[in-house]
Amino acid sequence: MPLVRLQKILAEAGVASRRAAEKLIVDGHVTVDGAVIDTLGAKVDPDAVEVAVDGRPVRARKKLYVALHKPPGFLCTRTDPEDRQTVLELLPKEWSNLYPVGRLDRESEGLIFLTNDGDFSLRLTHPRFGVRKKYIAHVEGRIDQPALASFTEGVEDAGEVLKAERARLISANNSHSVVELELAQGKNREVRRLFAALGLEVVTLRRTQIGPIRLAELPAGKWRILSPAEVKSLLPARD
């Protein structure tokens, strides 16, 4: 069998995301046949050696990919030190090994994936893969065409350039506007910051699509398992 990078083995076993697996390796938590391996890039034959994290053998897990309609008020994390509600509470207890792919802020709702496949998570969240996401924002005030154009031209906020790939005005009146944005960068709270940079306040925000997968009619708080074809459609260049 071809040799596989150690961090990929950990990620595919659901131990952690690829980035988190790299930190486990560097921090000396990972052993191969009892010997600590703390060098990134190390490759092994997973069928010929025993890989362990903190002494616990790593076993290949069945990969699971879940689409969830996150309601407002839930955190996209596995645990919270303040004991606030998390998206894991919306899933069956036996899926406690899953973790969110990216984030939606607490006030927002919409489509989010959860998985135990670290490689899948990396490819959907790293900027170099440019996976596009669509959002519907209800905003206070009227948005005009110059403001709409500024979203795709880019605005600066906190030293970062925020930019939408596409922006579409769905409706507007003197008190309220509805806008659809498509983004590819994945920066923290990017949609809300785009509007705030123009002095506009987002009232509600819903993510409606990730790549080709749509939220569609999935009710808030409910989940469904992605089909193999859907997973493949999200990762067209996967090796």
Q: Residue holding tokens 């899953």?
A: 98
Please say whether the beta carbons of 87 and 70 come within 8 A. Answer: yes
Q: Are 140 and 174 in contact (CB under 8 A)?
A: no
From the list 230, 227, 39, 234, the residue with the least C-alpha distance to 121 is 234
Among residues 190, 201, 202, 208, the alpha carbon closest in space to that of 154 is found at 190
Neighbours of 18 (CB within 10 A): 21
Q: Which residues make beta-bridge pairs with 56?
A: 53
CA-nearest of 84, 87, 104 to 205 is 104
Residue 182: count other Cβ atoms within 10 Å of its Cβ: 17
Task: Tell me the C-alpha distance between 97 and 94, whole Å.
Answer: 8
Give, as one character, the DSSP assignment of residue 94: G
DSSP conformation class of 86: B
DSSP 189: T
Residue 105 catalytic? yes
Q: Which of 33, 47, 105, 144 is catalytic?
A: 105
Tell me the catalytic residues.
105
